[in-house]
Structure 1
Amino acid sequence: MPSDAGNTGKGMGHDDGSNWEVPLEEMRAQQRLIRSPNLEDPGYIRQKANNKLWVRERIAALLDQDSFAEVGSITGRPVVDEEGNLKSFVPANSVTGWGRVRGRKVFVTADDFSVRGGHADGGIGMKAPYGETLALRAKVPLIRLLDGSSGGGSVATYLTIGATYIPGLAGLGRSMDAMAAVPVVSALVGPVVGLAAAKAAIGHFSVMVKGLSQLFAAGPPVVKQATFEDLSKEALGGWEIHATNGTVDNVATSELDAFQQIRAFLSFLPSSIFHLPPVISSSDSINRREEDLISIIPRRRARPYDIRKLIRLIVDVDGNPYSDGSSFFEIGATWGRSIVTGFARLDGHPVGVLSSDCLVNGGAIDAFGSQKTTKFVTLCNHFGLPILNLVDQPGFSIGSLAERMATIRHGAAAMAALYTAATPIYTVILRRAFGVAGGAFADPDDGTGTRVSWPSGDWGSLPLEGGIEAAYKRQLDATNSPEEREKLMNELLAQFEDVRSPMKTAHKFGIEEIIDPRDTRRLACEWVAHMYQATLPQLSTYKQSMYGVEGRTSMGRGYKL
C-alpha cells in the first residue's frame, strides 16, 4: 500500500521486489508530468497570455536539438490522491541542466515564471546556484534565462518558515566565481527583479527582449510604497532605460532573437579561460582587397563616414551565426554610442573589434563610452581574444555635462584597461588621435604593440583648429575685426597644414608604418594568425599555471576549478 510520495505511480504494476522497474516507472511518471505543460494551470495560462514561451520551450529553442540533459528533474512536490496515486506535480521554479550550443557543452539555469513568479517560495534550496558551480567545475559556459526574481525573496516565505531572516547573497557568490573562469550570459525574458537583476549585471553578456522584459531592483508596488512614484514596469525598467545606460548589453526583438544573440556571442569565446577561442575554417581570402576602403575616409576632415561599413569591409564576410553575412557581431550598440565594440573573425580567428563612431558626438569618448571600453577590453583580455583597434579618436568629451559625468575618471579606467591588457592589440589609426584619449587608443601598449596608420591619419596634442585658438589667443584677440581675425586664423592654419601630414611623422619614425587601407585585411589576418600560434598559447599556459587546470588550486572563495 503506497504511503508516501515515493510510491506515486498511477496504474503501476505490482512491485515484487525483484528489480527496480517499478520505482523507475514512478520516477518517469513524475518527469512526464513536469515536462508536459498543464494547459489549465493559472501560471502557464498567464505565461501564454503575456506572449511568453514556457520554460521548456525556451530551453528547446536555445540548445541544439535533443541535447538537454536535466539536473534535478524531479525536484519539487508531488501531489497524490487518497490512494497514493500521482495526481499532479508542483516543480521547482528553476530548470537546470547540461546542453549543447553549436556542438559545445554548456550549462543552463532557466526560471519558470509560471511557478510562483520565480520567487523563493517556489524554489527548492540552492538548485540554481548549484548549477552555476557545476558550470564552473566543468569549465563550460553558463547560460541563464531570467524571468522573475530567480529565486529571490518573497514575504510569503516568512509565513512558511515561521520567521524572518537576515538576507544573504542567495548564491550570487557562485555567480562571481563562475565569471572568473567561464563565459556567463543572460537572456532577460520577462520582468527581472531583485536577485535576478543582480544576476543580469553579474555576467559577461546580457540581452533583454524589447517590450517583454524589464529590469529593476524592486518592482512597481515596492517603488510606489517607498518613493510614491506610480510607474509601469516598462517605465520603471524597460529596454529604453537599461539598454541605454549599459546595465544590459543588447536588445532583442523576440525571445528567439535573444537566444540567437547568445549563441552568436558564445561562438567567439572559448569554453573557459584555460582554452583558446575557437578558430573555424573561412572561405574568405585574406588577400581580399576592398576598393571602397581607399575612399571611405573623406579627404575633408570634418566629414563623417560609416564605421560599421568600414569594419565589415575588413573582417570575414562569412562565419557569422547571427547577422548579415559579415562576421561582425556588435555588442552594446544602444549605449556608450560614441564607442563601437563587438566580435568578428579574421581568417576564421575570433577577435574583438574596438573603434569610435564619428556620427555620435564626433566620436569623442564620454563617460558611458569609457565604461563601455573598459568592460569590453576587460572581456577580451579575460578570454584571450586579440583586439583589432581601429582608431579615430578626437579626445575626451568636454564641457560642463562631461565634467558632471566624471568623464575623465571613467576615461582613466578605460586607459588603464587598454594599457594593462595582456591580450595582443593590433592598432590601425584611421584618422584622428588627439590628446590623452587619442594617445590611450593610438598607443595602448605604450610603444610596444603593433601599430600602423592609414594615409588619412591626423594626430597631435590638440586638433589644429582648437589648438591654434588656444596657442595664438592673444594675437587673434588683438585683431580689429572679425574679418581680420578669420584671415589670421586661415594664415596660421596654412602654416600648420604642411606639418600635419602623417608622412612627416613617418619620416621621424613617430608612426611605424603607413599602409594602403586596402591591405588592412591581409595584414591584420597575418598578424592574428601569428598571435594564435605564438602568443595566445603562452597566455593560456600562464592561466593554467596560476589557477590549476585540473582543479589542483582554487579561485575566488575556494571553489575548485
Structure 2
Amino acid sequence: MRLRIDESTTEGEARAIAKALADHFGDDVDLYVGGDDDPLASASASANGTGAPTPRADGEAVDDLEPTEREELLLEEIEDILEGGPEKYKERLSEQGKLFVRDRLDLWFNGEDGVLFEDGKFANFDSDDRLPADGLLTGAAEFEGRDVHFMANDFTVKAGSMAGKGVEKFLRMQQRALKTGKPVLYLMDSSGGRIDQQTGFFANREGIGKYYYNHSMLSGRVPQICVLYGPCIAGAAYTPVFADFTVMVRDMSAMAIASPRMVQMVTGEDISMDDLGGPDVHARHSGSADLIAEDEEHARELVAKLVGYLPDNADETPPRTDGTAPRLSPEGIDAVVPQEPNRGYDMFDLIERVVDADSVLELRPEYGPEIITAFARIDGRPIGIVANQPNQRAGAIFPDAAEKAAEFIWTCDAYEIPLLYLCDTPGFMAGSQVEKDGILEQGKKMIYATSSATVPKQSVVVRKAYGAGIYAMSGPAYDPESVIGLPSGEIAIMGPEAAINAVYANKLAEIDDEDEREQRERELREEYREDIDVHRMASEVVIDEIVPPSSLRDELEARFEFYETVEKDLPSKKHGTIL
C-alpha cells in the first residue's frame, strides 16, 4: 500500500501512521511526502503481532534494550526480600519438618504462577533491622480453580510475630475480602504480637484488635479457613478460632491463650506446649480444631476437599459436581439398622449407602462424637449432615455434641448448604455432670440453629427419636421440607423401658408373682411401642412419608432437587439472642 501524506508530517509521526495503517489493513504500508520517490516511513504487516521488535524514535529496537541499572537494583532488592529471614532460622524449619513460607505458598498454589500478586512485599524495607515483608505475606492466588485472598506468616522473621506494618497488611487483606467476596486462607505460624513494638499496633483503632472485628464482619460473608503450622499464642490464637474452619498439623502446631512459660508464671502449672494446646487437645476437648492433618501436604489436601463444598460467598450457591453412586449399596440400609432401639451400630454404614462415593468429609470427629457433622454430596449436590451416632454413648446428645451441631448448622446455613438430619437418639443426656456442663444451654443453641436455618432441610427418623432429640434433629415442628420415616422409626417422649417405669411402676410392684409381672411388663412395652411406631405417626400425618430404606437415596435426591429454590423468611428483627 503506497500513500502520500502532508509535507508537514514529521518522520516520527509518519512511522506511527504507517504502523497503525499496517496493523489495521494487514498490508505493507509505504508513506511518501510530496513528490519524493523514497518513502518517509514504512511498516510491514508481517512484522506486526509476530514478536518483531518495535522501532523507537532513535531507530533502536525496544527488545534489544537491557534492563536499566535502576530496574536491576529493584530486582536485587526483591530477591533479597524473597529469601526471608536468616539462614539459621530456615535450617531450624527443616529440622521441625516445616516448609519455608514461600515454599509453602508454592505447595499451596502450584508454584509461582499460582500466586497472582503479593501486597506489601516492601513493608519495613527501610527498617534498621532486616525484616523482609515484616514477616507477614499477603496477596491473592488461585487455589483449586478458585480465586482466594491469603496471608502467611514467615517464621524466619522474628518467629512470625506481628507488628505495625504486618498488621496493616493483614487488615487490608481482610477489608479487600469484604469487597471482593472471595474466600480467605490464613496460613498461620506466629508467636503473636511483638511486645517490644506494641505501641502503634496493639490497641489502636486500626491495630491488631481490628483483626477480630474484621473476622466477625467476614464471618458468614466469605469462607475463612485457617491452617496452623506452629505454636500460635495469645493474639495469634484468635484467628484460627474466629475462622469458619481450622486445620491443625500434628506434631507441629498448637494454639493457646498464653505460652507454657506464661502459664507457669500465672498458675504455677508446668506443662508442655502440646499438652497445653496441641492438636489432640483441640480436637477432643475444646472442639476448636475441625480437622487434623498429618503433615503439610495433607493439610493442603484437606482444605482442597473442604473448599469443594463451599461457595465463594454468601450470595452464591455451593458448587455442584457430577454425581456418583454411593460407595455401598442402598439395598443394605434396612439390614444396617437394628430392630432393637438400644442396640448400637455405626451410622456411617447408613450414610455411605445414601451419599456419593468418597464424598464424606467429617468435621470434629473426636469432639462430641455421639453426633456426626459432615459434608457430603447427593448426586453432586453439597449437603451438610447432622446425624446421631448410636455406637457412641447410644447416640444421646451431650453438651459438646449439641454445641458442635449448632455451630455446624449455623455455618451450613450461612453458605446455603442444604441440611440432612439422620435421627436415632434417646434425646439429651440427663445427670448432674451434664447439667454442670450446660446441657440446657448447649441444647437450646442446637434447637435455635435448627429453627433459624433457612436452607432446605430434610429430616429422616432412622430409628428412635425420643424426647427433645426430635426437636433438635429438625422434627415436624421445625419447618423442615420433609420428615421421612424408615420402618424402624419411633417417635416418643421417652423409650418404652423408661415410660413403663414412669407410668406403671407402682401397679407393677403390686403384682407378687414375678413371672406374671414380667409378662405384664412385656405387654405394656409392646402396647407402648405400637403407639409410638412410625406407622402410627404416618397415619396421623405427623410425618410426611415412610419410605422403603433401599429407596432412601432416591427419595432424598428428589426432595433436595425439588426444594432447591425454597425461600424462607424469618421474623423481622435485628438478630436473636440465643447464640
Q: Which band: TM-score by shorter chain?
A: 0.7 to 0.9
SS at match of 2:320: coil
Choose from 4, 24, 42 the match for 2:71.
24
8 Å CA contact 1:64, 1:99 repeated in 2: no
Q: Tell me, in whole angstroms, the C-alpha distance in 1 between the residues paired with 2:402 and 2:190.
A: 31
Q: Tell me, in whole angstroms, the C-alpha distance in 1 between the residues paired with 2:120 and 2:494.
A: 61
CA deviation after TM superposition for structure 1 residue 487, in Å: 4.0
| Letter aligned with residue 290 of structure 1 | P
- Which residue in the other structure is 1:193 paired with? 233
SS at match of 1:148: coil
8 Å CA contact 1:316, 1:344 repeated in 2: yes
Choose from 247, 269, 276 the match for 2:310.
269
Choose from 223, 237, 242 the match for 2:277.
237
- Which residue in the other structure is 1:296 paired with? 336
Q: Which has the higher contact order (CA 8 A, sep 6+)?
A: 1
- The structure with more radius of gyration: 2
**Percent identity of paired positions between Structure 1 and Structure 2:** 26
- Which residue in the other structure is 1:490 paired with? 522
CA deviation after TM superposition for structure 1 residue 203, in Å: 1.3
| Letter aligned with residue 74 of structure 1 | F
- Which residue in the other structure is 1:205 paired with? 245
Q: Tell me, in whole angstroms, the C-alpha distance in 2 between the residues paired with 1:506 and 1:299.
A: 19
- Which residue in the other structure is 2:120 paired with? 72
Cα deviation 1:297-317 (Å, max 9, x = unaligned): 012322222211211211111
Query: Where in structure 2 are the equivalents of 1:500-519 lying within 5 Å?
Result: 500-519=532-551
Q: Tell me, in whole angstroms, the C-alpha distance in 2 between the residues paired with 1:331 and 1:217.
A: 23
Choose from 140, 154, 169 the match for 1:112.
154
- Which residue in the other structure is 2:30 paired with? none
Choose from 84, 91, 99 the match for 1:53.
99
Q: Tell me, in whole angstroms, the C-alpha distance in 2 between the residues paired with 1:260 and 1:122.
A: 33
Q: Tell me, in whole angstroms, the C-alpha distance in 2 between the residues paired with 1:395 and 1:55.
A: 47
Q: Tell me, in whole angstroms, the C-alpha distance in 1 between the residues paired with 2:175 and 2:223.
A: 13
SS at match of 2:323: coil
Q: Tell me, in whole angstroms, the C-alpha distance in 2 between the residues paired with 1:182 and 1:447.
A: 26
8 Å CA contact 1:108, 1:142 repeated in 2: yes
Query: Where in structure 2 are the equivalents of 1:310-349 lying within 5 Å?
Result: 310-317=350-357, 326-349=358-381
Cα deviation 1:399-427 (Å, max 9, x = unaligned): 11111111011101110110111111011
Query: Where in structure 2 are the equivalents of 1:4-403 lying within 5 Å?
Result: 21-36=68-83, 41-65=87-111, 66-68=113-115, 69-77=117-125, 90-121=132-163, 124-149=166-191, 152-157=192-197, 169-244=209-284, 245-284=286-325, 290-317=330-357, 326-403=358-435
Q: Tell me, in whole angstroms, the C-alpha distance in 2 between the residues paired with 1:362 and 1:239.
A: 26
| Letter aligned with residue 157 of structure 2 | V
Does 333-342 or 246-255 show the bigger shift? 246-255
8 Å CA contact 1:120, 1:157 repeated in 2: no
Cα deviation 1:506-561 (Å, max 9, x = unaligned): 222222210011111112112222333x33xx68xx99xx9xxxxxxxxxxxxxxx
Judged with a 3 Å threshold, the aligned counterparts in structure 2 of structure 1 residues 190 and 88 are, in CA distance, closer, same or farther, namely: closer
Q: Tell me, in whole angstroms, the C-alpha distance in 2 between the residues paired with 1:198 and 1:508.
A: 50
Judged with a 3 Å threshold, the aligned counterparts in structure 2 of structure 1 residues 165 and 531 are, in CA distance, closer, same or farther, namely: closer
8 Å CA contact 1:93, 1:122 repeated in 2: no
Cα deviation 1:173-193 (Å, max 9, x = unaligned): 122212241000100111011
SS at match of 1:124: helix
- Which residue in the other structure is 1:551 paired with? none
Cα deviation 1:47-105 (Å, max 9, x = unaligned): 2221111111222222244211222223233689xxxxxx9763311111111121110
Cα deviation 1:132-157 (Å, max 9, x = unaligned): 112221111001011124xx323322
Q: Tell me, in whole angstroms, the C-alpha distance in 1 between the residues paired with 2:172 and 2:428.
A: 44
Cα deviation 1:363-392 (Å, max 9, x = unaligned): 011100110111011001101011111111
SS at match of 1:185: strand
8 Å CA contact 1:33, 1:89 repeated in 2: no
SS at match of 2:189: strand
Q: Tell me, in whole angstroms, the C-alpha distance in 1 between the residues paired with 2:135 and 2:230.
A: 14
Q: Tell me, in whole angstroms, the C-alpha distance in 2 between the residues paired with 1:407 and 1:125.
A: 39
8 Å CA contact 1:63, 1:99 repeated in 2: yes
SS at match of 1:385: coil
Normalising by the residue count of structure 2, what TM-score does the alignment of the two structures yield?
0.81
Judged with a 3 Å threshold, the aligned counterparts in structure 2 of structure 1 residues 422 and 230 are, in CA distance, closer, same or farther, namely: same
Q: Tell me, in whole angstroms, the C-alpha distance in 2 between the residues paired with 1:214 and 1:163.
A: 24
Cα deviation 1:283-333 (Å, max 9, x = unaligned): 4499x962211311012322222211211211111xxxxxxxx11111111
Judged with a 3 Å threshold, the aligned counterparts in structure 2 of structure 1 residues 61 and 445 are, in CA distance, closer, same or farther, namely: farther
Answer yes or no: is 1:521 the counterpart of 2:553: yes
Judged with a 3 Å threshold, the aligned counterparts in structure 2 of structure 1 residues 141 and 63 are, in CA distance, closer, same or farther, namely: same
8 Å CA contact 1:64, 1:102 repeated in 2: no
CA deviation after TM superposition for structure 1 residue 431, in Å: 0.7
SS at match of 1:247: coil
SS at match of 2:270: coil
Judged with a 3 Å threshold, the aligned counterparts in structure 2 of structure 1 residues 444 and 378 are, in CA distance, closer, same or farther, namely: farther
Query: Where in structure 2 are the equivalents of 1:384-533 lying within 5 Å?
Result: 384-443=416-475, 446=478, 449-480=481-512, 485-532=517-564
8 Å CA contact 1:411, 1:437 repeated in 2: no
Count of residues in Structure 1 that have an aligned counterpart in Structure 2: 502
| Letter aligned with residue 414 of structure 2 | H
| Letter aligned with residue 115 of structure 1 | V
Long gaps (5+) in structure 2: 1-64, 573-579
SS at match of 1:270: coil
Q: Tell me, in whole angstroms, the C-alpha distance in 2 between the residues paired with 1:122 and 1:35.
A: 20
Cα deviation 1:240-265 (Å, max 9, x = unaligned): 21111212212111122122111211
